[in-house]
Structure 1
Amino acid sequence: MRKKLTIAAIALLAAGIGGGYALSNVSSGKPYNSILQDDPKPLVRTSYSGGSTAAQPVDFEKAAGTAVPSVVHIRTVVKFKQTQSRGGMNPFGMDDELFERFFGGGRSFQRPDQKASGSGVIISEDGYIVTNNHVVDGATDINVTLNDRKNYKAKIVGTDPNTDLALIKIDGKDLPVMPLGNSDEVRLGQWVLAIGYPLNLDVTVTQGIISAKSRNIGINRQGSAPVEAFLQTDAAVNPGSSGGALVNTNGELVGINAAIASPTGSYAGYAYSIPSNLMKKVVGDIMKYGSVQRGYLGISMAPENLDEAQRKELGITGNADGVWVADTDPTGAAAAAGIRKGDAITKVDDVNVASSAKLAELIAMKKPGDKVDLTLVRDGHERNVSVTLKGKLGAMSGQQAAAVEALGADFSALSRADAAKLRISGGLQVTNIREDGVIGNQTNMRPGFVITKIGGIPVRSIDELKAALAKQDGNFQIEGTYPGSGSIYYYGINDLN
Structure 2
Amino acid sequence: MPDRFLRVALTAALVLLALFVAQPYVTSLLFSADAPRAVTARGDLSQAEASTVALFERAAPSVVYVFARAQQGAMSFDPETGERRQGGGEQTGSGFVWDAAGHIVTNNHVIQGGGDIQVRLSTGEVVPATVAGTDPNYDLAVLKLGRVSAAPPPIAIGTSGDLKVGQFTYAIGNPFGLDHTLTTGVVSALQRRLPTAEGRELSGVIQTDAAINPGNSGGPLLDSAGRLIGVNTAIFSPSGASAGIGFAIPVDVVNRVVPNLIRTGRTPTPGIGIVAASEDAAARLGIDGLVVVRVLPGSPAAAAGLEGVDSATGELGDIIMGVNGRPVRRLADLIAALESAGVGSSVALQVERDGRAITLMVTPADMGQRRR
Q: Displacement of 1:367 after TM fit?
A: 4.6
1:336 to 278, 288, 303: 303
| Within-5 A mapping of 1:112-123 | 114-123=89-98
Whether 2:274 is the aligned partner of 1:303: answer no
Q: Displacement of 1:329 after TM fit?
A: 4.2
| Within-5 A mapping of 1:5-404 | 59-80=51-72, 114-171=89-146, 172=148, 174-218=151-195, 220=196, 222-223=197-198, 225=200, 227-299=202-274, 300=276, 303=279, 309-311=284-286, 314=287, 324-327=289-292, 329-331=294-296, 332-338=299-305, 341-345=318-322, 347=324, 357=332, 359-365=334-340, 367-368=342-343, 370-374=344-348, 376=350, 378=352, 385-392=360-367
Deviations 1:286-317 (A, max 9, x none): 2222222221133537639975x432xx4x5x
Give distance in 2, aligned partners of 1:212 and 1:358.
19
C-alpha change, 1:217 and 1:80, in structure 2 (3 Å) is closer
Give distance in 2, aligned partners of 1:272 and 1:301.
28
Give distance in 1, aligned partners of 2:162 and 2:327.
14
SS at match of 2:218: coil
C-alpha change, 1:362 and 1:174, in structure 2 (3 Å) is farther
Kindly indicate whether the alpha-carbon contact (under 8 Å) linking 2:133 and 2:264 is maintained by their aligned counterparts in 1: no
Give distance in 1, aligned partners of 2:291 and 2:50.
46
Q: Please, what TM-score do these two structures have when normalized by structure 1?
A: 0.53
C-alpha change, 1:153 and 1:365, in structure 2 (3 Å) is farther
Q: Displacement of 1:389 after TM fit?
A: 0.5
Give distance in 1, aligned partners of 2:360 and 2:50.
46
Kindly indicate whether the alpha-carbon contact (under 8 Å) linking 1:192 and 1:210 is maintained by their aligned counterparts in 2: yes
Give distance in 1, aligned partners of 2:66 and 2:152.
16
Kindly indicate whether the alpha-carbon contact (under 8 Å) linking 1:132 and 1:166 is maintained by their aligned counterparts in 2: yes
C-alpha change, 1:346 and 1:117, in structure 2 (3 Å) is same
Q: Displacement of 1:57 after TM fit?
A: 11
Q: Return the letter of the residue paired with 2:290.
A: V
Deviations 1:170-212 (A, max 9, x none): 1346421112222222222222211111011021111222222
Kindly indicate whether the alpha-carbon contact (under 8 Å) linking 1:245 and 1:255 is maintained by their aligned counterparts in 2: yes
Give distance in 2, aligned partners of 1:74 and 1:140.
13
Q: Return the letter of the residue paired with 1:197.
A: N
The aligned residue for residue 454 of structure 1 is none
Q: Displacement of 1:216 after TM fit?
A: 1.9
SS at match of 1:183: coil
SS at match of 1:153: strand
Q: Return the letter of the residue paired with 1:144.
A: V
SS at match of 2:153: coil
Q: Return the letter of the residue paired with 2:295.
A: P
Give the RMSD, CA atoms, in angstroms. 3.3
The aligned residue for residue 481 of structure 1 is none
Q: Displacement of 1:353 after TM fit?
A: 7.0
Q: Return the letter of the residue paired with 2:160.
A: S
C-alpha change, 1:357 and 1:193, in structure 2 (3 Å) is farther
C-alpha change, 1:357 and 1:186, in structure 2 (3 Å) is farther
SS at match of 2:184: strand
Q: Return the letter of the residue paired with 2:350.
A: L
C-alpha change, 1:384 and 1:242, in structure 2 (3 Å) is same
C-alpha change, 1:204 and 1:137, in structure 2 (3 Å) is same
Gaps of 5+ in 2: 1-47, 74-86, 308-317
Higher-strand-fraction structure: 2
SS at match of 1:213: strand
Identity %: 30
C-alpha change, 1:203 and 1:294, in structure 2 (3 Å) is same
Q: Return the letter of the residue paired with 2:158.
A: G
Give distance in 2, aligned partners of 1:186 and 1:336.
38
Give distance in 1, aligned partners of 2:281 and 2:194.
16
Q: Return the letter of the residue paired with 1:191.
A: F
Q: Displacement of 1:79 after TM fit?
A: 4.7
Kindly indicate whether the alpha-carbon contact (under 8 Å) linking 1:232 and 1:272 is maintained by their aligned counterparts in 2: yes
Q: Return the letter of the residue paired with 1:286.
A: L
Deviations 1:10-69 (A, max 9, x none): xxxxxxxxxxxxxxxxxxxxxxxxxxxxxxxxxxxxxxxxxxxxxx99953343332222
Q: Displacement of 1:124 after TM fit?
A: 0.8
Q: Displacement of 1:113 after TM fit?
A: 6.0
Q: Displacement of 1:217 after TM fit?
A: 3.7
C-alpha change, 1:384 and 1:291, in structure 2 (3 Å) is same
Kindly indicate whether the alpha-carbon contact (under 8 Å) linking 1:80 and 1:113 is maintained by their aligned counterparts in 2: yes
Kindly indicate whether the alpha-carbon contact (under 8 Å) linking 1:247 and 1:255 is maintained by their aligned counterparts in 2: yes
Higher-helix-fraction structure: 2
Q: Displacement of 1:163 after TM fit?
A: 1.4
C-alpha change, 1:310 and 1:57, in structure 2 (3 Å) is farther
C-alpha change, 1:66 and 1:390, in structure 2 (3 Å) is same
Give distance in 1, aligned partners of 2:327 and 2:208.
22
The aligned residue for residue 396 of structure 1 is none
Q: Please, what TM-score do these two structures have when normalized by structure 2?
A: 0.69
Q: Displacement of 1:150 after TM fit?
A: 2.0
Give distance in 1, aligned partners of 2:233 and 2:227.
17
Give distance in 2, aligned partners of 1:146 and 1:270.
28
SS at match of 2:56: helix
Q: Return the letter of the residue paired with 1:344.
A: M
| Within-5 A mapping of 1:331-480 | 331=296, 332-338=299-305, 341-345=318-322, 347=324, 357=332, 359-365=334-340, 367-368=342-343, 370-374=344-348, 376=350, 378=352, 385-392=360-367, 469-470=369-370
Give distance in 1, aligned partners of 2:329 and 2:59.
33
